[in-house]
Structure 1
Amino acid sequence: MRFPWRLPAAGAVTVLLATGLGVAAPGTACACSCASFTTPEEAVSHASGVFVARATDVASGGFTDTYQFAVSEVFKGDVGPTTTVGTLSDGNGCGTGFEVGREYLLFVSRPYDVSAAWEAYSCGPYTGTPFDVRAATERVYGAARAPSADGPVHRITPWTRMTAAVPLPLLAVGAAAAVGLSWWVVSAMRRRRRATD
């Protein structure tokens, strides 16, 4: 007895391709518009986390980049000695980029579009005129403190790299298709055994 294995296999491939193209296709480009504040103090006050850190690693892929940082000073937020900052890649939606090995004074938010401890944007403290960002930060938050030894530690992991290279929705669809195909093969083998008994 011949089993119509081609139809389910073609269906699974079609679903994978359609989902992959939908996830991998570039989205609509959005212009980035940054707010300007009246005073330097106001400009540095709009962040969930403020800290000084050196970029030590990066995992890039798809629409987001995840950077790992060694933190040296903290002005605001519960920040451990190692943390991750995600950003939309290629400047999409106000995304930004960092150079590994360089130190930054970071103004970050809680993550929304990225899988990291923090999210960064190209819009930093801005008043329309240049000012000493570090001095304004110290006026608002006081002297910097060391990162909390008991604070949360976030690192780039093999899972981070894998999901950066292959978007998570595509991984989920691929896993579901593999489970479905395995179930169908096992069912077909059982039917064949029953037919020959």
Structure 2
Amino acid sequence: MLSSRKWIWFGVVISVLLGSAALKPEAASACSCAIVSNVQEAKQSSDAVFDGTVIGKKTASKLFASSSADPVTWTFQVNEVWKGKVAPVLSVTSAESGDSCGYEFREGQRYVVYARKTGETLDVSLCSRTALYSAAGQDLADLGVGSVPPQQPAAAADSQSGFLLWWLLLLAAAAVLAAMIYYKRRSKKQTF
């Protein structure tokens, strides 16, 4: 049987263990980058370089603990392109936190983005030259004039408007046919 003094020590040990489990450890920065010295080297080592505004963020839902390395997908409205096959709306991935070299974009902000292709996705890291548009003056000057991202093909836009036009014509024809049937039945009833 435990004495009262041992019960007190046992309670203190349990309290310390439970208390330390409840405390969140301080974040340690695990990201270490070899900084690319100039814009041309950064452009050359990237698969896509563009200027865009963040319009969306999608995080992977996890059932249990999350990590600062979990991927986040950022969607951009692209304004200008200097390298790569970039669509008007483009998504890139990055680690959730700068602690894992992830670039922490902010929705509604405009950036100059340097991305590298990894499998099927474009990835951005804290180690790239990616920066807020307002702070990327030297990069913008060195990159020069880019190109506008390709817009939706006219054929696709025309086919969508053509599809809508056919539906509207079909509805109008159905309305005219229904009106003709109604008036024909009404005129037959009046003759009797």
- Report the TM-score when normalising by structure 2: 0.51
Q: Give the alignment's Cα RMSD to 1 decimal.
A: 2.7
Q: Which amino acid aligns with 1:47?
A: S
Q: CA deviation at 1:64?
A: 1.3
| Greater shift in the superposed pair: 60-69 or 81-90 | 60-69
Q: Secondary structure at the match of 1:34?
A: coil
- CA–CA distance in structure 2, aligned partners of residues 145 and 110 of structure 1: 20
For residue 136 of structure 1, report the CA deviation from its aligned partner: 1.9
- Structure-2 separation of matches of 1:78 and 1:38: 25
| Partner Cα separation in structure 2 for residue 120 and residue 83 of structure 1 | 13
Structure of larger gyration radius = 2
Contact kept, 8 Å, 1:69 with 1:82, in 2: the verdict is: yes
- Which residue pairs with 1:193 in the alignment? none
Q: Tell me the equivalent position of 2:151.
A: 149
User: 1:49 aligns to what?
Assistant: 48
Residue 45 of structure 1 aligns to a residue whose secondary structure is: helix
What 5-or-longer segments of structure 1 have no aligned partner? 1-28, 152-197
**Number of the residue aligned with 2:123:** 119
- Structure 2: state its 5+ residue gaps: 1-27, 61-65, 131-135, 154-192
Say yes or no: does 1:66 pair with 2:73.
yes
Q: Match of 1:147, SS? A: coil
Partners of 2:29 and 2:118 in 1: CA distance: 19
Identity %: 26
**Which among 105, 114, 136 is matched to residue 98 of structure 1?**
105
- Provide the TM-score with structure 1 as the length reference: 0.50
Q: Per-residue CA shift, 1:3-62, capped at 9, x if unaligned?
A: xxxxxxxxxxxxxxxxxxxxxxxxxx8722212344443244321100011100111244
Q: Is the CA contact 2:31–2:100 (under 8 Å) kept in the aligned structure 1? A: yes
- In 2, are the aligned partners of 1:44 and 1:133 still within 8 Å (CA)? no
8 Å CA contact 2:42, 2:114 repeated in 1: no
Separation of aligned partners in 1, 2:35 and 2:49: 18
Amino acid at match of 1:147: P
Distance 2:128 2:52 in 1: 16
Q: Is the 8 A contact 2:35 2:127 kept in 1?
A: no
Equivalenced residues, count:
113
Residue 80 in 1 paired to residue 82 in 2? no
Q: Name the CA distance, whole Å, in 1 between partners of 2:125 and 2:36.
A: 16
Structure 2 SS opposite 1:133: helix
